Structure 1
Amino acid sequence: MPDTRTDLLVIGAGPYAYAAAAYARDRGVDTHVVGIPMSFWRDRMPQDMYLRSGPDWYLDANREDTFTAFFEERGLDPAEHDPIPISVFLDHTDWFAARKGIVADQRLVADLTRPNGTFVAAMADGTSIEADKVVAAPGVGFFAQLPAWHDRIPEAHRSHTVDRVTFEDLSGARVAVIGGRQSAYEWAALLCDHGASRVDVVHRHPTPAFEKVSWKFVDAHVDQTLAHRGWWRGLTAEERAAIAQQFWEVGRLTLEHWLVPRLRPDVVTSHPETAVTAVAGDGPVTLTLSDGSALEVDHVVFASGYKPDVARVPYLGGVLDRIGVTDGFPDLSEGFETTLPGLYTVGFLATRDFGPFYGFTKGCPSAAKIVVDEMLR
Structure 2
Amino acid sequence: MTRIGAVVVGAGPYGLSAAAHLRERGVETRLIGTPMQFWDEHMPVGMCLKSEPFASSLGAPLPGLAFPDYAPDAAAIGDPVPLEVFTAYGRWFAERAAPPAEVTRAERIEPDHTGYRVVLATGETVRTASVVVAVGVGPFAHIPGELMDLPAPLVSHSSDHRDLGAFRDRDVVVVGAGQSALETAVLLAEQGARPTLVARTSRLMWNTVPHEAGGRLPSAPLHGLGRGWRTWLWSERPATTRLLPYRTRRRIVATTLGPAGAWWLRDRFDERVRTLLGHRVTRAREDAGRAVVFTQGPDGPERVTADHVIAATGFVPDLDRIPALAPALRAGLARWNGSPRLDRTFQSSAPDLYFAGLAAAASFGPVMRFVHGTDFAASRLARAIASRTRGPRPTDHLTHV
Shared fold by TM > 0.5? yes
1:1-377 matches, cutoff 5 A: 1=1, 5-57=3-55, 58-62=57-61, 64=63, 65-72=65-72, 76-79=73-76, 82-196=79-193, 198-212=194-208, 214=210, 215-217=226-228, 218-225=231-238, 230-235=239-244, 240=249, 243-244=252-253, 247=256, 251-265=257-271, 267-280=272-285, 281-291=287-297, 292-318=301-327, 319-377=329-387
Q: Corresponding residue for 2:392? A: none
Equivalent pairs counted in the alignment come to: 363
Deviating above 4 A after TM superposition, structure 1's stretches of 4 or more consecutive aligned residues are: 236-246
Measure how far apart 1:306 and its partner are: 1.4
**Which structure 1 segments of 5+ residues have no match?**
none
**1:105-158 C-alpha deviation (Å, 9 max, x unpaired):** 112111011121221111112111111111110111101111213232232221
The answer to whether the Cα contact below 8 Å between 1:178 and 1:202 also exists between their aligned partners in 2 is yes
Q: Provide the rounded CA distance (Å) in 2 between the counterparts of 1:355 and 1:312.
A: 21
Q: Partners of 1:21 and 1:322 in 2: how far apart?
A: 26
Change (3 A) 1:259 1:84: same
Superposition deviation, residue 55 in structure 1: 2.0
Separation of aligned partners in 2, 1:20 and 1:161: 27
1:52-107 alpha-carbon deviations (Å, 9 max, x no partner): 112212113446111111123xxx24359921101111111111112215310112
Residues 245, 126 of structure 1: alpha-carbon distance in 2 compared, 3 angstrom cutoff: closer
Distance 1:131 1:282, change over 3 A: farther
* Cα offset, 1:221, TM superposition: 3.1
Cα separation, partners in 2 of 1:128 and 1:142, compared to 1, 3 Å: same
Structure 1 vs Structure 2: percent identity of aligned residues? 30
TM-score by length of 2: 0.84
TM-score (norm 1): 0.89
Unpaired segments of 5 or more residues in structure 2? 211-225, 388-401
Q: CA deviation at 1:260?
A: 2.3
Q: Secondary structure of the residue that 1:231 maps to in structure 2?
A: helix
CA distance in 1, matches of 2:251, 2:337: 21
1:207 counterpart letter in structure 2: R
- Tell me whether 92-101 or 20-29 shows the greater mean CA deviation: 92-101
CA shift for structure 1 position 219: 4.3
Task: State the secondary structure of the residue aligned to 2:344.
Answer: coil
Q: 1:203 to 1:132 in 2, by over 3 A?
A: same
Distance change >3 Å, CA 287–CA 124, structure 1 → 2: same
8 Å contact 2:368–2:374 — kept in the other structure?
A: yes
Distance 1:320 1:220, change over 3 A: same
Q: Secondary structure at the match of 1:133?
A: strand
